[in-house]
Amino acid sequence: MKTLFIVMVAVAAAVGIGIYQRGRISDLEGKITGLETEQRRLERLQPEGRESAPGAVATAGRPPGGAPEELRAAVQASVLQLLDEMGELIRQSEAAGDRQSMEEEGKAIMIKLMTLSGDEALKAIEEVGRRDWPDEMKMGVSMMLMTSVMESDPERAMEIASKFDLPSREGRMMLVMLARQWAAKDPEKAAEYFENLPDGSAMKSLDGQLKQMVEGSIAMGYAKKNLPKAFEYAAGLEDERTRKQVVQALSVEMKTVAQWQHYLEAAKGIDDAKLQSSALLGLASTLSRQPFNQETMDSFDIPDSMKAEFVRKFATSHIDSQTASRADWAMGQAMGEIDRQNLISQLVNRWTWQDFNGAGAWLGSLPESRERDEGVRIFAGLVSRKEPESAIDWALTIKDPKIQEKALNAVYERSEKESPGKVAAYLKELNVEFDFGEAPVVTPESTDP
């Protein structure tokens, strides 16, 4: 039975909200026969002079121009029949029958119920309360029906839904789903409601990820029309971590160069320095997952105070086949020596763990420089446990004596635990004398590795 309930949650999220967003019910899986028949009857009997708006789709129980009471009664009878079918399905589920087929039947029934108007959905909720069903199933079906009420009267929907006992995570998720539906449609009113929750509201019990989902949905709703307003809303959130996650999540919704530029300009207008930093780093992370385009990257006017962090985040957030291109662009940006060392240190560390061949190929392509020496030092230390000889070869390409000494000592210390004497033997083979803790001495017979 719990499996069926979880399936209902998925149906509501994937189908229920979509019904109203797309404004149609006829293209769902299979034909919805019972209530569609009533819908057509209502349309045929629509009073003259009460035409539907162009493109409107009538739904059962919600005739465009009203309907005789006997037809409303027929619709209500259909609802009662659907609830009877759901009750029978619950009984079969408890008897441990064919769960997969029962879940499919449950989806079909719930899809039909979710085509109801707000008033009819409320009547159905009242009827659910009178049914001899398990409490969890009563709550699940009722919360499903609330998606219809949410379309016409969001505050009423939240008021009713918040009175349900929500002991399980699935139950709280249903409440969050309703809240997100409202936030996507009217973020300003949703934000005002959630900032002034009435006493006893179950929404007050939400915390952690569930609360963040609601707040994030409100911010997303704002962002569709007014991105600066979305940032303003995020800045007012109570939890600092949530503020950061919300503004960074907004960057993920940006898909084009124009949207990225708009996001950047809006982020530059954030007064809170920490929040602005989170927004810009979120954009850098988002850009790191796009196909690399140097012209696009050069077009971004990043504030000087954030330039080094933005570049480092862009170069290191995502490791893939284009990491080398992003790294080359990053190394070409104007930065101080410390910032460049931090960039190459973080880049080589992450890249080597995920793709040491790619990291090695990129390091090998760099011209001689202190940054290359530092990168090779880090790289050699990371690969030394598995390939100490290769690590020694890399360390010996370092030109700065002090950096090379650090690299060889690191290789020795890390490899000696698993392969005692291996490093010393290989150095002897290369005719390299090295007293660990001092710089190595290369004899004339040795060759450049």
Whether 399 maps to a domain, the answer reads no
Residue 169 placed within a domain: yes
Residues 170 and 221 reside in one and the same domain: no
Q: Choose the most confident range, by mean pLDDT, from 40-44, 116-120, 264-268, 412-416.
A: 264-268
pLDDT digits (tens, 9 = 90+) for 330-355: 999 988 889 998 999 999 999 999 99
pLDDT above 90 covers a percentage of the chain that reads 36
Number of domains observed in the structure of the chain = 2
Residues 122 and 245 in one domain: no
* Residue 135 lies in domain: 1-46+57-185
pLDDT bucket at 66, cuts 50 / 70 / 90: very low
Residue 266: predicted pLDDT: 95
Percentage of the chain lying above the pLDDT 70 cut: 64
Q: What is the pLDDT of residue 26?
A: 29
Same domain (yes/no): 3, 144: yes
Please report the pLDDT score of residue 60 as a whole number. 33
Does residue 320 register a pLDDT over 90?
yes
Greater confidence, 254 or 167? 254
Return the closest-CA partner of residue 61 out of 4, 115, 136: 115
Give the pLDDT mean for 221-243.
Answer: 91
| 110: in domain | yes
- Of 38-42, 44-48, 51-55, the one with minimum mean pLDDT is 51-55
Half-sphere exposure for 148 (CA within 13 Å, toward CB) = 25
Q: Output the CA angle 17-224-271, nearest 5 degrees.
A: 135
Q: Indicate whether 327 belongs to any domain.
A: no
- Regarding whether 145 and 35 lie in a shared domain, the answer is yes
Residue pLDDT, tens place only, 370-425? 999 999 999 999 998 888 899 999 999 999 999 999 999 888 888 877 777 788 88
90, 238: one domain: no
Is residue 25 predicted with pLDDT exceeding 80?
A: no
Cα–Cα distance for residue pair 348/387, rounded to 1 Å: 17
Has residue 121 got a pLDDT over 90?
no
Say if residue 137 is in the same domain as residue 222. Answer: no
Q: Give residue 165's pLDDT.
A: 60
pLDDT at 202: 67
How far apart are the C-alpha atoms of 380 and 119, rounded to whole Å? Answer: 70
Model pLDDT, residue 349: 94
Regarding whether 155 and 21 lie in a shared domain, the answer is yes
Q: Is 293 among the domain residues?
A: no
Note whether 4 and 146 are same-domain residues.
yes
CA distance 192 to 131: 35
If you count DSSP H runs as helices and E runs as strands, how many of each does the chain have, helices first?
A: 23, 2
User: What length does the chain have?
Assistant: 449
Q: Could you tell me if residue 147 is inside a domain?
A: yes
Q: Indicate the average pLDDT of the chain.
A: 74
The two three-digit tokens of residue 313, written as one number: 């985040």
Q: Check residue 136 and give its pLDDT.
A: 64
* 308 located within any domain: no
Task: For residue 332, give every residue at least 6 positions away whose Cβ sits within 8 Å of its Cβ, in sequence order, or none.
Answer: none
Kindly state the helix (H) or strand (E) to which residue 407 belongs, with its residue range: helix 401-416
Residue 68 has pLDDT above 50, yes or no: no
Q: From CA 65, how far away is CA 50, in angstroms rounded?
A: 5
434 pLDDT higher than 90: no
Higher pLDDT, 26 or 377: 377
Contact 90, 1 (CB under 8 A): yes
Quick one: 128 and 1 in the same domain? yes
